[in-house]
Structure 1
Amino acid sequence: MLTGDRAGSVQQDGLFAAGLRSYVRAVTRALRVEPEAAWCEVAEMSTAYVAVRERAIDYPNRDVMLLWDERIGWIVALEPKPDEEPVVLGHISGDVVPAAADVARAVAAVLTAQTVQPDRGPEHKADPGHVRAEILAYALPVVVEQTVQFPRPA
């Protein structure tokens, strides 16, 4: 049995995982991508992946992916071939956890750019506490939904 701080940490990790899943689902909806085309992982460095349906105008024969990690946020890249590193098409600047609609607009802008600009990477280092709070906010609807569906016995 977990007690004290460890129990609170496990519970918060579970909420963070629920929040990250909910956030990634919101991004897939905004991109009009099936949820099965995405995954996320909560670990020492939490990450997410979304397979993008559209292709970049300069790379019509290559699949595109969207990658997220809690330090830098989202990048748009070409799916790598077995013998190459991903080609980064762009970094979604601003907040590490932008609204899903903002992600979709940024992806569309990157994909329709006529030339790929070298990626400058994130504009700032993410504050881990701020990122965690933003992701945890996505867990709230999940927690409320589960509470409504599975009320605790009196």
Structure 2
Amino acid sequence: MSAPRAVVFACGSLGAPDLPRRGLSAGSAPLAVLLLDVEADLELRDGDRTVWSERAFPVAELARTLSSWLSLPDRERADFAFDSMAYDAPGAVRIAPEADGWRVGSVHAPGSWTTPMEWAALRAGLVEFVEAVRTGVAELGVDPDLVVPRCSRTG
């Protein structure tokens, strides 16, 4: 297995630029709209290598889904395939266990995966991403607990 290290979900330019077009503000938008409209330029990195990136990605929805997945008991946690309201098919972000660790990738870059990593390293990277999105949501003036709950499990 590779040395412990976290996958990096780099999140740039977090905002909700479509809310004004909808006649809403961050404080008045319903949860379903916030989940889609709080977006950022997302880059999935493995060390210095970019595995996949997407502009204006629904990071609040991804963070909320990852938080729920991370909170599952270990015995109930299966592969992860992000099933977004914004995409026709699931898997914009995929996480899969293999014999030598966990790997992260995307259906939009089928041949590109992270190198295998230990669960603790993967979890650390995912929790860091969830917390970064929570911070960004709070900076928009929205209660982050409403949009992206904290990850409730430590292991």
TM range (shorter): under 0.3
Q: TM-score, normalised by structure 1?
A: 0.26
Between Structure 1 and Structure 2, which shows a larger proportion of helix residues? 1
Larger gyration radius, structure 1 or structure 2:
1
TM-score, normalised relative to structure 2: 0.26
Ranked by relative contact order (alpha carbons within 8 Å, sequence separation 6 or more), the top structure is 2
